[in-house]
Amino acid sequence: MKILVDINHPAHVHYFRNFSNIMQDKGHEVLFVARDKEISHRLLTLYNISYINRGKGREGKIGKFIYLIFADYKLLRISLKYKPDVFINFLHPYPSHVAKFLGIPSLVFSDTEHAKLHHQLTVPFATKIFTPSCFRTDLGIKQKRFDSYMEVSYLHPNYYSPNPEILKLLGVIEGEKYVIIRFVSWAATHDFGHTGMTLHNKRKAVQSLIKYAKVFITAEGELPSDLESYRISIPVDKMHDAIYYSSLLFGESATMASEAAVLGTPSIFIDNDGRGYTTEEEQKYGIVFNFNESESDQLRAIDKAVSIIADDGSREKFRKTREEILKNCVDTTQFMVDEVLKYKP
């Protein structure tokens, strides 16, 4: 069986790398095609995954439309040469367009309800859309829900074990509190209209948290010089270890908030739209705390972060929460394998 995996974002590398290993061990052939976005290519190289580069994306609505045409054409040429039996990707339209044109099954994963344009451009062409059971949107008869989160595909104990060597890289000692703060660029298609935290409140968050713990910032793009000094400097494949041993994750990334939850680390997530999975991780497990982008909620988020980091007993409680989450979740990677094998010629 020949499988084409299309990568549009660094997180997608993590979603599908264990799936690829399993399928290749079973004797199947897997080809990765990857957009040149942020650290996607670096991650693929780190995990010894060969890939075809489908170029950088473009910014703005017109630029993204032009890139859609380019990516469709690029994938079509690759597919005509490779002749895949099935396409698999996380929500973006290019593989489904090409698969529909060639009459090949297209299997798509999604967990981002407000990515409405991507759903509109993808669902009509896809064969199946797989979403977590907590997904808030009904995508029609092609949708199939599964009881887990995308982050479980790479943070399940079947695939991930935390490495305490990260503490040396961070310059912290075992048991010392530290916080990871995540700021995003808000440049994705589904982020149009978002502004995120104000610079004033970003500074306030740092100044409030450093009273209780070390602070490390991970951010897309540049930071003001006073915040740049807090930027984390570790190999890109060590971030999950850093999250695992941290006392709190604070910021604007839904994926990282959910990663933290699956790893047993409490997180603060700030976003106007929220996600079905971060809402469930708050309401069902009490390990993610969701806030919107209003000024008042930004301040409430900072206050909540301080209350968590100041609580010396919270770490052990959240470790037990991780066990509960994993007990209730299916292995997302194994779910992928089972679904793709249904399309074996």
The answer to whether position 149 is within a domain reads: yes
Residue 75 has a CB neighbour count (10 Å cut-off) of 25
Nearest to 171 by CA among 214, 128, 133: 214
What residue type is 152 in one-letter code? V
Domain membership of residue 252 as a residue range: 166-328
CB pairs under 8 A, 24+ apart, for 97-100?
97/72, 97/121, 97/125, 98/72, 99/125, 99/126, 99/127, 100/125
In total, how many domains does the chain have?
Answer: 2
**Same domain flag for 115 and 240:** no
Distance CA 173, CA 155 (A): 24
**Same domain flag for 175 and 143:** no
Distance CA 305, CA 263 (A): 18
10-25 helix and 332-341 helix, angle to the nearest 10 degrees: 60
pLDDT value for 211 = 96
Mean pLDDT of the chain: 94
**Alpha carbon separation from 59 to 65, 186, 324 (Å, rounded):** 10, 11, 40
Band (pLDDT 50/70/90 cuts) for residue 190 is: very low
Band (pLDDT 50/70/90 cuts) for residue 334 is: very high
**Same domain flag for 208 and 318:** yes
| Res. 290: pLDDT tops 80 | yes
**Same domain flag for 176 and 86:** no
**Same domain flag for 128 and 261:** no
**Same domain flag for 197 and 222:** yes
**Same domain flag for 107 and 223:** no
| Res. 117: pLDDT tops 70 | yes
pLDDT value for 34 = 97
Tokens of 19: 């799936």
